[in-house]
Amino acid sequence: MFFVSVMIFFNVFLSSVLILVSLYLVKKKVMTREKGSPFECGFDPKNSARIPFSMRFFLVTVIFLVFDIEIVLLLPYLFSASVGVSMFSLFSGVMVVVVLMIGTFHEWSEGSLEWFINN
């Protein structure tokens, strides 16, 4: 019982010290006009918020997210394949890859994968 109470005290003490140190390190030392102004992706917040953005950049971002989700869906399959492969898991893994391949060929034929415009 004594050991448990000492460990609880030690954890509370260590947490308090870490909180105080982080508050000291994060504190703004000198407040200037530049540090006080908000920064949003390089846009000046005082001008109009209706600035046009590149649709190609948006499409590249969406494509990146799709392939990022692909990795999230396929990693558990790869880890479970080392234990044993059933027909259902093999079929579902192949179907995920087939759907992504169809989507990739559609984006390719649509021209979304062209990152520059030929003049």
- Structure confidence by residue, pLDDT tens digits, 24-78: 888 766 667 766 666 656 555 566 656 677 777 777 788 888 888 878 877 877 7
CA distance 30 to 112: 47
Q: So what's the pLDDT on residue 41?
A: 60
Give the model's confidence band at 118: pLDDT under 50 very low, under 70 low, under 90 confident, else very high: low
Q: So what's the pLDDT on residue 12?
A: 94
Helices 55-81 & 87-110 angle (0-180, nearest 10): 160
Would you list the domain boundaries of the chain?
A: 2-29+32-110
Does position 13 have pLDDT exceeding 90, yes or no? Answer: yes
Over the chain, what is the mean pLDDT? 77
Does position 99 have pLDDT exceeding 80, yes or no? Answer: yes
